[in-house]
């Protein structure tokens, strides 16, 4: 457990922010996807130009993350099974049962994967203060110290980070994407799932982007 904690940069997650051990802060934007291939050539060109313009407006590093997970649809199948049992129309009942059987056979043929898309935004006043060797030597230490920041500093960093997150959301929404900044609970779920990739309990813990509320 100690070695695991040593290699995780997270100090805590609070107030919709991830606080790292070096005192920097991270926010995560979850975004929907678009089917680029189904767009017309004119729409595709507009999306490309819009994305280039978005990248040109960003003056700080960001990280784009795509996560693939095996989709656990046991809950969905159980719900469909209940619907079939409650169905009074025999034809609809048979069709629902056939559909359930089809899905089960489809799952047996191969894993059904889901993809989630995130933009990770970081704010730190320490980014330029540590060189490669300083960070390398820190990684060799047995004990990793956590840089404590005051509540006032935390609120200041959160405000700066919020400005960056807002810029990212605004830029990506202009491309027709649905975006939402993950709150504390969804950040916890996201990082827990990321560091416990083998656990079957972590499938689909983060709420669908279409169901998340976007703060105005």
Please name which of 24, 104, 116 lies closest in space to residue 66, comparing C-alpha atoms.
Answer: 116
List, for residues 31-49, the tens digit of each pLDDT value.
998 888 888 999 999 999 9
Q: Where are the domains of the chain?
A: 2-69+115-211, 72-110
Calculate mean pLDDT across residues 165-185: 92
Q: What is the percent of the chain with per-residue pLDDT over 70, rounded to a whole number? A: 76
H helical segments located in the chain: 2-6, 41-57, 74-86, 90-109, 132-140, 151-173, 184-195
Between CA 88 and CA 54 the distance in angstroms is 53
List, for residues 48-99, the tens digit of each pLDDT value.
999 999 999 998 888 999 988 777 778 888 899 999 999 889 899 899 999 9
pLDDT of residue 49: 93
Q: What share of the chain is helix, strand, coil (3-state, %, to 5)?
A: 50, 20, 30
> Could you give the C-alpha distances from 72 to 104, 113, 130, 189, in angstroms and in order?
12, 9, 43, 16
pLDDT of residue 71: 72
């Amino acid at each position: 457990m100690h070695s695991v904690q040593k290699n995780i940069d997270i100090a805590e997650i609070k107030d919709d922010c991830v606080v790292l051990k070096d005192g920097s802060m991270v926010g995560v934007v979850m975004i929907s996807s678009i089917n680029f291939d189904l767009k017309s050539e004119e729409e595709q060109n507009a999306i490309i130009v819009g994305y280039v313009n978005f990248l040109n407006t960003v003056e700080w590093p960001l990280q784009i993350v795509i996560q693939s997970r095996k989709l656990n649809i046991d809950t969905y199948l159980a719900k469909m099974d209940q619907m079939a049992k409650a169905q009074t129309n025999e034809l609809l009942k048979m069709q629902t049962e056939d559909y359930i059987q089809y899905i089960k056979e489809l799952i047996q043929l191969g894993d059904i994967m889901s993809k989630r898309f995130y933009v990770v935004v970081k704010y730190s006043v320490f980014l330029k203060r540590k060189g490669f060797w300083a960070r390398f030597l820190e990684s060799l230490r047995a004990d990793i110290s956590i840089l404590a920041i005051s509540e006032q500093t935390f609120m200041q960093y959160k405000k700066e980070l919020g400005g960056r997150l807002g810029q990212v959301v605004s830029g990506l929404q202009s491309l027709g994407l649905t975006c939402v900044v993950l709150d504390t609970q969804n950040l916890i779920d996201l990082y827990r799932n990321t560091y416990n990739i083998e656990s079957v309990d972590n499938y689909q813990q983060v709420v669908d982007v279409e169901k998340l509320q976007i703060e105005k």
